[in-house]
Every structure is written in structure tokens, then in C-alpha cells.
A and B are shown apart, each in its own frame.
Chain A
Amino acid sequence: MNDTGKAKRALSRREFFKMAGIGTGAAVAASSLQPAKVANAAAAPYTDPAGRPARPWWVKTVDQPTTEIDWAKMKRYSERYIEEEDSGTVRGDGFAGYLGAEEAERLIKQGNDKMKQRLVDNVDGYTLKDHAMSAGQSATSVARSFLGPQKAKTPEERGVAKWSGTPAEGARILRTALRHMGASTIGFVELDENTRKLIYSMDPDGKILEFTDDPIASETETHRYIPNSCKYVIVYTVQMSEEAMKRSPTMTASQTTTGAYSRGAQIAAGTQEFLRTLGYQGLSEASTNALGIAPAFGVLAGLGEMSRLNRMITPEFGPMVRVFKMLTDLPVEPDKPINAGIMDFCRSCKKCAEACPSGALSFESEPYWETKGGWNNAGHKAWFEDATKCRTYWVSEAGTNCGICFGVCPFSKKDKAWIHEWVKAGTSAAPFLASFFRSMDDAFGYGVQKSGEDWWNLDQPEYGVDSMSVVKG
């Protein structure tokens, strides 16, 4: 009996240690299942001299962007509609310009009537409290200005020399400053004879943007003068709430766009004053979407890749960002574009094009050089969209901006579940799996439109976004 008992105990101990060993080994291995998490990354010092955040291995830095560009064919684009040329943005005067004044007026009236009826009928996402939220977000903005508030004391006024450092140090302190003012990701582009073409020829308010040898930027009734020395572009993203945008097209969704634009304007004003205090100039967007082509600068600064949306998609937040840009004469180290397999994925996915109620997005597998109209800027290969169809839907049907394509995009995910990181890595490393990932995205129910009313019952983080997701390496 005793022998048997000892044998049993010995066996039991062996089993115990075996199981414990396996369990410990498995736990250690499991901790590495999520490929991109870095513990306490938020508190860690920069490992890169220019303050570039560590990114997952599947986000590769490349010399040329994944968008093909023919700089010889590219011209500076007017962000204001020019009737004589039938070109420029579809926003503002462009809507009537492209569709005709009478038709535009009819569509606007149709949209306004629908909006009023939805409000009266208390339609989900269009209730009075949804309108109130949108109005509230609009009120959080600060005045945008090309030259900035110019209230901060300059080094001269403080009796000190202006700040000096290497371009890498300049980039690093700007990244830190912008991040603390609310930017999600930050990158830099140095203007040359090619990238200058991405600065608009005319701002949305009709002022001409002109480069000058004068070292000080200035503004008149008709012109905004950019010193040639202001050759560094600061590009930054501001997160939108994925949870809100998945209510698109409603007021619940559009308020996050408005909120992101407001924060973008706050960051711009703050950065302009930051630069002024250092002894440098910061030239910002004088109005929404002014100064230059945001997605193009974003791509060149390595913040993301172009996509079927004809917008930039970031590896971190998918398309759930607004992109802003600013010019400065503070020397900063420029960044390189990236390849995270996003554009490759778009070739076969087409989920956004299928979901677009206006049929504005392309179903072509390959991007193309030919533009769809004067609202597109030639000189690069893209899935050019029919912006008049998109705008018509906004104005006449949705009554507010529409972000369905943003909401359904398989890159629009929160980062809590490990599977998303695996899929993104798989997308980059094995592009042939794109169709499979797209099918699985549908099967798992991602991108389904959610209720605007339910949104009011959610316990959400500040701004409805996860600010920690940007500090993982």
C-alpha cells in the first residue's frame, strides 16, 4: 500500500511539474501572440532621433510611395472651382458649377426638406440631440488662419536667440508638441520642385497661394505669400471615432468629422504659436481643406497609403482620420513613404465601392491615370471617384456628410482584438489572402451600420477614440 501510495505521489508530482512546465511555456508563448504590443510604450523614450514611433514589422518604409506619380503631368490644383476651366473642388461653388445652378438648388432644397422631416419624425441618428451634438462639435473649433494667432512672444521679444537644433531634433520636438496637442500621427515632407505641386494654386476662399523670396510670410486681400524658406511640411492626423462613424450617414457620424476638424484647427493654431515662440513661422490652412492636398502629403510623409476611397488609409486607424498640413521654416528631418499592403488590399476588396449608395467609387481592380472630372488632380494613378455623385448624395439624400465608405473599410477597426493585428500583418505579408480576408470581414459582421440611438448609451473614452493605440510599436 505504502509503495503504491509513494508511486502515486511520485507520478502525481511528475505530472504536476510537467503540466506546470507546459503551462508556463504556453503562457510565455501566448504573450507573444499579439505581434505589436509594447508594454509601457507610452512612458518609453523615443528610440529614433527624429522621434518616429516604432511601427509593426509589416509597415515597411519605402523610397517611392505605392501610388505611382508622374510629376511631369501634375499641376498645382485649385481648391476653388474655376468656371472657365470647369475644374477645382466640388465643394462650395463647385457643386453648382458642375451640376448647374438650378439643379444644385433643387438638390439642396430636397436635402433640406428631408433633414427637416427626419428631425420631425425623430429618425434614428437625426434627432434633436444628434443635431445638438453636431452643433456642439462645431462650436469647439478655433479660428483658422494662414499666419496664425501671432500672440505668443517671439525669442526676440523674450530677449533670447531663437531655438536651434538638428533637423532630427526639430522633428522630434514637433512630434512631441503636436502629439500633446491632440495629433495622432505626425510626419514631415520637404518641398522640392515636384512636391510644391501639391500646394494649391488657389485656396477655397479664392486667394492665390504664391511662393516668394521674401523670408516673411504675408497675406493680402487676394494672395497668400509663402516664403521659399518655408519648405518643410508638417503633416498630422487627428483620429475620428470609429464607433460614431459606423453610424454613417447620420448626424451621429458626421459630428465626429466636425470634431476632428475642430481639433485639427486647435492643433494648427497651437503649433503656429509653438513655432513662433521658437522663432520660426508656421503657415496653416486658412480654412477647412486649404493650403495643399492632404492625402498626398500624408502618403509622402509615411502616414498611410492611398486607397480605393481616393483617401489615405493609415495602418493604425484605417481611414478614420482627418489629415492636416502646415508649412514651416524650422528644419525638420523628412520621412519616407510606407508600404503596409493597403493599396494592394484595395485592389481586390472593393467593399467600400459596393457599400457606396451613390456609386461614386470605382470598381476597377487597378488604379488608373485618367481622372473622372475637373475635381480630380491628374498626375498620379488612383481610383478616381465621381465626386459629383458623392456630393449629390450628401446634399440631397444624407443631408449631412457621408462616411459609409470609411465605416465599412476592413481597416476600420479598434485594436483590442488580436485578430486585427494578425490580419493587417497577413495583408501586408501575403497579399494573395486579400480576398479571403475580405470574405471573413463580411462573415464576422464588421462594417455593419449601427444605431445612432444606441450610441448615446455607450461609455466612451475622450473624443470617442483610443489615444493609446498610437504608441504601440
Chain B
Amino acid sequence: MKTYTIQVLKRPWYEWVLWAVWFLVEIFVLQNAIASGAELEPRAASIFWMTFVVLLLGGGIVWFVRRARLAK
């Protein structure tokens, strides 16, 4: 009879805290991006949008890399 061991690797609590911070920063940057457009400040809006996208992509990449590492 074969036995299988299932190993469940949980992300540590501080990682969730870091993700929460990332999420808050994203909200903050997104609000500023949208509001800067409404304020007719195109350069500020562009910088905030760029920051938002970079953070989003960065977060996505880190998430998948960490997930792949945990899955090994």
C-alpha cells in the first residue's frame, strides 16, 4: 500500500501583511491617477497611472513566483 504525504505550505503572516500594504498602496495610487485626470493635471495622472501599472505587474509577478516556489 502506497502512502502519500501532502505538504501544505502556508504563507507566513507577515507576507499577508505585506500584501495588504501593497493593496492599500495600489488603491492610493489608483485614486490619485483617476483624480488627477479629473483635476486636469495630465502629467500627474500619467505618473500615477504608470506607478499603478508597474506596481500591479510587479505584484502579479511576485505572487506567481512565490506561488510556484511554494508549489514545488
Q: Which of A409-456 contact B (CB under 8 A)?
A: 413-414, 416-419, 443-446, 448, 450
Contacts of A458 in B (CB 8 A): 40
Known: A33-B28, A445-B44. A417 touches B35 (CB 8 A): yes
Pairwise interchain contact A418-B35, C-beta atoms closer than 8 A: yes
Contacts of B16 in A (CB 8 A): 22
Contacts of A22 in B (CB 8 A): 16, 19-20, 23
The answer to whether the Cβ of A30 comes within 8 Å of any Cβ in the partner chain is yes
Pairwise interchain contact B20-A445, C-beta atoms closer than 8 A: no
The answer to whether the Cβ of A1 comes within 8 Å of any Cβ in the partner chain is no
The answer to whether the Cβ of A25 comes within 8 Å of any Cβ in the partner chain is yes
A216, B53: Cα distance in complex, Å: 67
Pairwise interchain contact B44-A33, C-beta atoms closer than 8 A: no
How many A-B contacts at CB < 8 Å in the complex? Answer: 57
List A residues at the B interface (Cβ < 8 Å). Answer: 7, 11, 22-23, 25-26, 29-30, 33-34, 243, 413-414, 416-419, 443-446, 448, 450, 458
A11, B28: Cα distance in complex, Å: 31
* Interface contacts beyond A34-B31, A418-B31: sample of 10 additional A-B pairs, CB < 8 Å, sorted by A: A11-B8, A29-B20, A29-B24, A30-B23, A414-B39, A417-B44, A418-B35, A444-B47, A448-B43, A450-B40
Pairwise interchain contact B38-A416, C-beta atoms closer than 8 A: yes
A14, B42: Cα distance in complex, Å: 43
| Chain B residue with the shortest CB-CB distance to A32 | B24
Query: Interface code B29-72, partner A: CB below 8 Å = 1, 0 otherwise?
Result: 00110011011111110011000000000000000000000000
Output the residue of A29, A445, A446, A448 with the most chain B CB within 10 A: A445
Known: A22-B20, A29-B24, A30-B27. A445 touches B43 (CB 8 A): yes
A22, B20: Cα distance in complex, Å: 7
Pairwise interchain contact A243-B40, C-beta atoms closer than 8 A: yes
* Chain A min CB distance to B31 (Å): 5
A448, B27: Cα distance in complex, Å: 27
A471, B43: Cα distance in complex, Å: 28
Output the residue of B20, B42, B48 with the most chain A CB within 10 A: B20
A448, B44: Cα distance in complex, Å: 11
* Chain B min CB distance to A387 (Å): 31
Contacts of A25 in B (CB 8 A): 20
Pairwise interchain contact B39-A416, C-beta atoms closer than 8 A: yes
List of 3 A-B pairs having minimum Cβ-Cβ separation, nearest first: A445-B43, A417-B35, A416-B35
Output the residue of B24, B27, B43, B44 with the most chain A CB within 10 A: B44
Pairwise interchain contact B24-A30, C-beta atoms closer than 8 A: yes
Q: Could you jot down 17 A-B contacts, CB within 8 Å? A: A11-B8, A22-B20, A22-B23, A26-B27, A30-B28, A33-B27, A33-B31, A243-B40, A416-B35, A417-B41, A417-B44, A418-B35, A419-B32, A444-B41, A444-B44, A445-B41, A446-B41
Contacts of A34 in B (CB 8 A): 31
| Chain B residue with the shortest CB-CB distance to A23 | B23
Contacts of A417 in B (CB 8 A): 31-32, 35-36, 39, 41, 44, 48
Pairwise interchain contact B43-A444, C-beta atoms closer than 8 A: yes
* Chain A min CB distance to B41 (Å): 6
Contacts of B27 in A (CB 8 A): 26, 30, 33
A26, B43: Cα distance in complex, Å: 28
* Chain A min CB distance to B46 (Å): 9
Contacts of A243 in B (CB 8 A): 40
A34, B30: Cα distance in complex, Å: 13
A34, B6: Cα distance in complex, Å: 45
* Chain A min CB distance to B14 (Å): 13
A23, B27: Cα distance in complex, Å: 12
Contacts of B44 in A (CB 8 A): 417, 444-446
Contacts of A444 in B (CB 8 A): 41, 43-44, 47
Output the residue of B6, B36, B41, B48 with the most chain A CB within 10 A: B41
